[in-house]
C-alpha cells in the first residue's frame, strides 16, 4: 500500500485510467487534472483544476506519456480546458516531488532543471521498454496481417535489431512459422539469434538479405533501410518501422518505388491502451513504493 | 509436370489466380471462364466463354471455393457475365472428368450425381483444413487485436475444440503468452492439450471456465456457446467463432448482453488470399498428378 | 471419491506405487498382492496373498503394465513369491470385475475370454499413449544427448511418423533448435508438419532425406529404417527407435555398418517411473469413476 | 581464408580437433604441440615439439580452454609429454602474437603480462558464453532427466539468473512444459521473464519460491542457494548448479539434508565436445580474421 502519498495526474489518455485505478487501489491520494469528462469515477480520487490545488503537499506529478509539448501544454483527452505546466507550478511542489512522464523535450527538461525537481522518464527505462514490446508486437502482427495478402507463416521476415523490441518480435514471428532473419551488429546478438534457432546476419549484409524478403521490421533508430536497401527488395515486401520518429527507413524512396512502408512508433497505446496503462501503472507503483521506503529509511 | 491435362477454371476470386499460376507452370492446358477483366495474362491459358468450349476434352473443371449457388450460378469476380453450370454441361465432359470445388450444395450435388461425374470437395479434406488453419489463425489474431484494448499476452483465452483449427489456434496463442484453456470432449484431445503445456477442461464445464475468460474462440460447429454460457462471462469477453455457418454461438443473446461476438467462418480467403490460393493450388496439383498416374497405370 | 470400490493390485514396479497412492486417496479399498517388501505402507491398503482373498467382492484387478507372461506369471518387484493368474481366479470374481493391464498376450487374452471378464488395455488407449509421449520424449532426449558428441540444436533430426509420439518428439526437437524433418504418409500429417513450421517429406523419400541426417528417430512399428536406408546415412548418424518391439530398424545391418542404433520401446517406466505411474493412476481413477457411475445409473 | 597466418595449437582435448579442422580449412599454417597420439592427421598441419618450433614467426598460440595450471603445465590429452608454457617462450614470439585461452589464472596472467603479449580469454566473451549455453542446456537436460523419477514437463523449475545461460535454460524448460519461475534482481530481467510468458520473482523471495520446487537450476556465481534456502525445499528437489566453481550452492548443507545437488560448471566440453569445439573454432576464426584485416589496414 502507498498510503500517505499524494499525487497529481495531469492529462493523458485511456492509459491514465489504469494508472488512476491502480494507484487508487494502493490508497494513494489522487488529484485528477483534465479529467472532467471522464465518466468513470474513482472513490477518493478528486477531479480538480491545476490552479486550485495545494501543490506544496504533492509527492509526485504524473504527466501523459508524451509529457508536454514545446509550449508546456499537456494533452487532455477527457477535458476541453487547456492545461499548461510551468516552472512556477513545479517550484511550488516540495523538493522531493518527482515528475513522471513517458518522454521529455527541451521545454520539459528546462522547467524541471530550473525547478530542480526529479524527472523520471518511464519510456527510457529498460523494463518499461520490454513490457511495451508485448503490445508492440501485437500491433506489428495486426499491421502485417492487414497489409499483406500472404501469411506470416512461411514468409521470410527480416528483423533489424535484437534489442528490447527485436527479441520479442523475432521470437513471436518464429513461433508463427516465419523464416526469421535477424540483422545485428553486436556479436552477442548474433549469438543469441543463433541460440534462438533463427538465422542471423550482420547489418552490413542487409542489401543481400532483403532480396527475397517478404517482410522487413526495423527497430533501430538510425537510417538503416536506405534507398539502396529498398531498391533491392521485391515489390511485394512490406516494411514496418517501429523505431522512434523519424524511424530508420527512407520512406520517401519507398513510396517512390511503390514499396509499402509504415512508421508506427507508438503501438502500445493504440492497440492495447488498457495493457499499456497497466504496464505504466505497475512500474509507477513500484517506483513510488521504493521512493517511499527510502524516505522512511532516511527520516 | 501435368503435361497433357486440359482443365477449365470457371469463376472465382483472387485465390483462383494462384491456382491458374501453379497449373500453368505445370504445363496444364487451361481454359479460363469468367476472367475477362483479369489484367494478368498467363501465356498458354486461354480466356474463353463456357458455351464456346469443346467440353469433350476436359479432364477437370475447377469451380470457386463456394461452388455454385442454388441456381447453378458461379461467382465471377473478374467478369460481368453470368455463368451457370448445368447438368447438360457436365454431361458433355468425358466420364473421367473431375469437378473440383471447395464446398457443395443441393444443386451442385444433384447435377454431379445425374451426370455421374466425380466431385472433389477440397474443403472437406483434412489436409486442406489444416493448411487453411494457418491463414485462419492469422485472421483470428488480427480480429482479436483489433477488438480488444488488452493484449493477448497474459489474457485467459478459451479455445473450444482441439481439431484441425483448434490445435493451431491453441499453439499460437500459447506462443504469444496467453493463458490457453482448451475445451474438448475426447480424452485424447485432453491428453494432447496437457502435453502441449496448456490447461484442458471438459466442454461440460464450460460455464465455470468462462467466468474470467478474456477471449473465447469457438471452432465447434454446434451450439456450444449458449446463452447460459454467455451469461457467465465478464462484460469485456470477446467471442470469435470460426465454425462454419451459423457458428456455435448464440449471437442474439450475446448482442443482448452487450458481449462482442464475431462470426468469421472463412478467414483464409479474406486475410491471405494469395496463401489461401496457393494452398488450393498445391492440393489440386497433387490430386491431378495422382489421377494422371492412375489413369496411365490403368491404361 | 471412489468409496465402495474394492480393487486388487497384483504385482508391478514403482509405477504401481503411484496407482496405489492415488486409489487409496480416492478411498478405494485396496488389496496388494506381491508387495511384501514394499517399505511404504498405505493406511487402509491391505497386503494380502492371492489365495487368501475373497475374490467374489472385487470390482477390479490391476496387473502390471506387462500383464502376465505366457505362463500366467505376474512380475512382482516387491516380493519373492511367485504369483500366477489363472482362469479359475478370474472366474471367482463377480461378472462386472474388470481386469486392467498395460498390454496383453495370448495367455491373458484366453483366460479373460474364458472367464468372460472385461479386459482394459491401458497402453492401447490414445490418451495413455499421448500422456506417455511426455516421459518418452524426455527419455529420447537423454539418450540422444548421451550418445552424440554434437548438440541437438542445429542437428538435422529426422522423425518418422507424426502419431502420438511423433508429434511430441517433433515439437520438442524443434523447440531445442534441431532442424526437424518429419516423414509421414498421410496427407494430413504432412499438412500438420508444415503448419508446425517443420520440414515434411513422404516416407518413400526416406533414403534421400537421411543422406545428411544427424539423428533419426523412428516411431513407426514396421520395418522402415531398412538396410538400404541405413546404407545412405553418414557414419555419425544416431538411430533411436521407440516403436514397440522389434522396432522398425534393421539393427543387424546398422551394427554391421557401424551406425549406432538403439531400440527403446518402453522409456516412460525407465526415465520417469513416478510420472508414468501417475499417468496410469489418473486414467485408472477416471475409468473406475465412469464405471461406478454407469453401474449406479443402471441399478 | 586466413592464408599467411601461422598458429601453434598447444595441448587440449577433443574440442581442439574442431579448432584444428576449421583453421586448417581456412589455410592457416598450423603447428600442433601435444598431439602425437592423435590418429587423425590434417594435411598441412605439422605435429611438432614446443622447443623445436621457430616461435618468432607465430601469429598466435591456442591453449586448451583451461589455459595452464599454476605451474605453467598445459594439459595434453593426446600426448604423454609434459608441456610447460613459460614467459621465455612467449617472449620469443613476435609482439603481435596473441595467446588464446578459455580462462586464465595467476600464472598465465603473469607470464602474459611480463612478456607483454595480448591474452584473449574466450570464455569471458559474451558471444562464446551464449553459444556455450546451447550445449550447456543439453547437459542440464540430461542430468535432470537422469537424476529424477518425474518428468520435466509439469515440474516446477526454478531458474536463478536470466543471464547468458539463464535465458536459454528458461526458454527450453518452458518449451518442455515445465512451470518455470525465474529469480532475478534486475528489473529488466523481471520484465523479460514476463514477456517470455514465465513466472518471475525477486531473488530475495527465493526461500518462499522453493517450497514446492521440483528442480532448482542456479546460474549465479555467488552463494544464492544457502542452507536457509535449502532447508525450505521438499526432499525430492534436485539442485543443478552450473555457475563457475565453487558454484552458488551450499553443497555441504544439501548433502546433510539429503537433497541431491550437483555442481556442473563445464558441461559443453563433456556433453558435446564436437559442438563445443566448433563454437571455439568459429570465434577464433572470426577474431583472427579481424586481426588480420586490422594489421593489413595499418601496414
Tens of pLDDT, residues D47-64: 888 888 888 989 999 999
Q: Would you state the pLDDT for residue A25?
A: 93
Residue B51: per-residue pLDDT: 81
Same domain, A96 and A188: no
Cα A252 to Cα A249, A257, A259, A263, A265: the distances in Å are: 9, 9, 10, 12, 17
Distances (CA, A) of C48 to C45, C99, C157: 9, 18, 50
Q: Which residues of A touch C174 (CB under 8 A)?
A: 197
Q: How far is C115 from chain D (nearest CA, A)?
A: 37
* C-alpha cell, C198: 517443420
User: Residue A46: beta bridge partners?
Assistant: A31
Quick one: DSSP state of residue B11?
Answer: S
In total, the C-beta contacts within 8 angstroms joining chain A to chain C are: 12
- C1 lies in a domain? no
Residue D135 banded pLDDT, cuts 50, 70, 90: very high
Contact in structure between A102 and A65 (CB atoms under 8 Å): yes
Residue D190: C-alpha distances to residues A269, A282, B214, D97 (Å)? 22, 13, 24, 43
**Do residues D251 and D289 share a domain?**
no
A266 min Cα distance to partner chain B (Å): 15
Chains touching B (3+ CB pairs < 8 Å): A, C, D
Helices (H), A196-272: 206-209, 227-230, 251-257, 267-271
Q: Residue A29 falls within a domain, yes or no?
A: yes
pLDDT at position B48 is 84
First to last CA, chain B: 19
* Total Cβ atoms within 10 A of residue A291: 18
- Nearest-Cα distance to chain A for C197, in Å, is 5
Query: Could you identify the residue written with the cell 526469421?
Result: A180
Total domains in the fold of chain B: 2
Contact D33, D11 (CB under 8 A): yes
> How large is the average pLDDT for residues A125-141?
97
Decide: C219 and C163 in contact? Cβ < 8 Å. yes
Tens of pLDDT, residue by residue over D253-284, are: 999 999 999 999 789 999 999 999 999 999 99
Q: Are residues C116 and C134 in the same domain?
A: no
Dump pLDDT digits (tens) for B93-147. 999 999 999 999 999 999 999 999 999 999 999 999 999 999 999 999 999 999 9
A127 chain-D contacts, CB cut-off 8 A: 187-188, 190-191
DSSP E strands in chain C: the ranges are 6-10, 29-33, 46-47, 60-62, 73-74, 83-84, 98-101, 118-121, 156-160, 179-184, 199-202, 215-218, 238-241, 260-263
* Helix, strand, coil percentages for chain A (3-state, nearest 5): 45, 20, 35
Nearest alpha-carbon partner for C274 in D238, B187, D140, D158: D238
User: What's this model's pTM, rounded to 2 decimal places?
Assistant: 0.95
A20-48 pLDDT per residue, tens: 999 999 999 999 999 988 877 777 788 88
pLDDT reading at D193 higher than 90: yes
Model confidence at D236, pLDDT cuts 50, 70, 90, reads: very high
Domain-located, residue A1: no
Q: Is residue B1 part of a domain?
A: no
Spatial distance between the Cα atoms of C284 and C114, rounded to a whole number of angstroms: 24
DSSP state of D76: B
CA of A215, closest CA in chain D: separation in Å? 23
Three-state DSSP at A85 gives coil
For cell 505504466, name the residue: A280
Tell me if B246 is assigned to some domain: yes
- Tell which residue, D234, D227, D231, has the closest CA to residue D250: D227
The residues pairing with D121 across neighbouring beta strands, listed in sequence order, are D101
- Say if the Cβ atoms of B150 and A176 lie within 8 Å: no
Per-residue pLDDT in tens (0 to 9) along chain B, 299 residues: 899 899 999 999 999 999 999 999 999 999 999 998 887 777 778 888 888 888 898 999 999 999 999 999 999 989 988 999 999 999 999 999 999 999 999 999 999 999 999 999 999 999 999 999 999 999 999 999 999 999 999 999 999 999 999 999 999 999 999 999 999 999 999 999 999 999 999 999 999 999 999 999 999 999 999 999 999 999 999 999 999 889 999 999 999 999 999 999 789 999 999 999 999 999 999 999 998 888 888 87
In a domain, B40, yes or no: yes
User: B51: distance to nearest CA of chain D, Å?
Assistant: 58
Average pLDDT, consecutive stretches of 10 residues, N- to C-terminus, chain C (299 residues): 92 93 94 87 82 88 95 92 93 94 96 96 96 97 97 98 97 98 97 97 98 98 97 98 94 97 92 96 95 84
User: What is chain C's alpha carbon radius of gyration, rounded to the nearest angstrom?
Assistant: 22
Q: What is the CA B281 to chain-centroid distance, rounded?
A: 13
Q: Say what the ipTM of the complex is.
A: 0.94
pLDDT of residue B168: 97
Q: How many CA atoms lie within 13 A of B103 on its CB side?
A: 10
Question: What confidence score (pLDDT) does residue D201 get?
Answer: 98
What domain range is B52 assigned to? 6-124+273-298
**CATH label of the domain that carries residue B65:** 3.40.50.720
D118 and D135 assigned to the same domain: no
> Is D186 within the bounds of a domain?
yes
Rounded Cα distance between B237 and D154, Å, is 29
Distance CA C80, CA B203 (A): 47
Instruction: For cell 462482442, name the residue.
Output: B260
Residue B298 neighbours by CB distance under 10 Å: 6
| A272 CB within 8 Å of a chain B CB | yes
Specify whether A165 is located in the same domain as A230.
yes
Q: Closest CB to B130: pick one of C130, C167, C191.
A: C191
Judge if C116 and C51 occupy the same domain: yes
Please check whether residues D150 and D187 belong to one and the same domain: yes
Provide, for chain B, the percentages of residues in helix, strand and coil under a 3-state DSSP scheme, each rounded to the nearest 5.
45, 20, 35
* Chain D partners within 8 Å of A125 (Cβ): 187
A49 — pLDDT class (breaks 50, 70, 90): confident
In which band, very low, low, confident or very high, does the pLDDT at A193 lie, cut at 50, 70 and 90? very high
Contact D6, D24 (CB under 8 A): no
For chain B, say whether D195 makes contact (Cβ under 8 Å).
yes
Q: Residue D203 falls within a domain, yes or no?
A: yes
| pLDDT of the residue at C48 | 84
Chain segment D142-184, per-residue pLDDT in tens:
999 999 999 999 999 999 999 999 999 999 999 999 999 999 9
**For residues B194 and C279, is the Cβ–Cβ distance under 8 A?**
no
Residues B83 and B95 reside in one and the same domain: yes
Q: Which residues contact B255 (CB under 8 A, 6 or more apart)?
A: B261
SS3 D75: coil
Question: Cell 537422469 belongs to which residue?
Answer: D146
How high does pLDDT run on average in chain D? Answer: 94
- Nearest residue to D152 (alpha-carbon basis) of D182, D174, D178: D178
Mutate to test the interface with D, among A120, A129, A195, A293 (most CBs of D within 10 A): A195
Do residues C82 and C12 both lie within one domain? yes
Cis peptide preceding A246, ω within 30 of 0? yes
Q: Measured between alpha carbons, how far is C239 from C177 in angstroms, rounded to an integer?
A: 19
Indicate the SS3 state at residue C293: helix
What is the per-residue pLDDT for D294?
87
pLDDT digits (tens, 9 = 90+) for D90-127: 999 999 999 999 999 999 999 999 999 999 999 999 99
For residues A187 and A84, state if they share a domain: no
Same domain, C118 and C141: no
Closest CB to C127 among B128, B168, B188: B188
E strand map for B195-276: 199-202, 215-218, 238-241, 260-263
| Main-chain phi, psi angles of C164, to 5 degrees | -65, -40
Strand runs (DSSP E) across chain B, as ranges? 6-10, 29-33, 46-47, 60-62, 73-74, 83-84, 98-101, 118-121, 156-160, 179-184, 199-202, 215-218, 238-241, 260-263
CA distances from C61 to C50, C122, C288 (A): 11, 13, 11
A147 lies in the same domain as A221? yes
How many residue pairs bridge chain B and chain D with CB atoms within 8 Å of each other? 12
Q: Can you give the pLDDT at residue D299?
A: 73
pLDDT of residue D155: 98
Q: Which residues contact residue B9 at a Cβ distance below 8 angstroms, ignoring those fewer than 6 apart?
A: B16, B19, B20, B23, B30, B31, B32, B33, B35, B62
Amino acid at each position: 500500500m502507498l498510503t500517505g502519498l499524494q499525487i497529481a495526474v495531469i492529462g493523458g489518455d485511456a492509459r491514465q485510467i489504469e494508472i488512476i485505478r491502480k494507484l487508487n487501489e494502493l490508497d494513494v491520494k489522487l488529484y485528477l487534472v483534465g479529467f472532467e469528462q471522464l465518466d468513470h469515477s474513482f472513490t477518493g480520487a478528486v477531479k480538480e483544476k491545476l490552479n486550485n490545488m495545494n501543490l506544496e503537499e504533492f509527492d509526485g506529478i504524473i504527466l501523459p506519456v508524451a509529457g508536454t509539448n514545446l509550449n508546456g501544454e499537456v494533452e487532455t483527452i477527457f477535458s476541453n480546458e487547456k492545461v499548461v505546466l510551468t516552472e512556477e507550478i513545479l517550484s511550488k511542489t516540495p523538493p522531493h516531488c518527482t515528475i513522471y512522464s513517458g518522454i521529455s523535450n527541451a521545454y520539459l527538461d528546462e522547467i524541471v532543471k530550473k525547478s530542480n525537481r526529479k524527472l523520471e522518464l518511464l519510456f527510457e527505462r529498460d523494463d518499461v521498454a520490454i513490457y511495451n514490446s508485448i503490445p508492440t508486437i501485437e500491433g506489428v502482427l495486426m499491421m502485417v496481417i492487414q497489409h499483406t495478402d500472404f501469411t506470416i507463416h512461411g514468409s521470410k521476415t527480416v528483423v533489424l535489431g535484437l534489442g528490447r523490441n527485436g527479441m520479442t518480435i523475432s521470437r513471436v514471428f518464429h513461433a508463427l512459422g516465419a523464416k526469421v532473419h535477424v540483422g545485428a551488429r553486436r556479436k552477442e546478438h548474433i549469438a543469441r539469434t543463433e541460440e534462438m534457432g533463427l538465422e542471423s546476419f550482420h547489418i552490413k549484409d542487409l542489401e543481400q538479405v532483403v532480396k527475397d524478403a517478404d517482410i522487413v521490421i526495423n527497430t533501430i533508430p538510425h537510417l538503416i533501410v536506405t534507398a539502396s536497401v529498398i531498391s533491392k527488395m521485391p515489390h511485394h515486401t512490406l516494411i514496418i518501422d517501429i523505431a522512434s520518429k523519424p524511424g530508420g527507413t527512407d520512406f520517401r524512396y519507398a513510396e517512390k518505388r511503390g514499396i509499402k512502408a509504415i512508421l508506427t512508433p507508438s503501438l502500445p497505446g493504440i492497440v492495447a491502451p488498457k495493457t499499456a496503462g497497466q504496464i505504466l501503472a505497475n512500474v509507477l507503483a513500484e517506483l513510488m513504493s521504493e521512493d517511499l521506503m527510502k524516505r522512511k529509511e532516511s527520516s
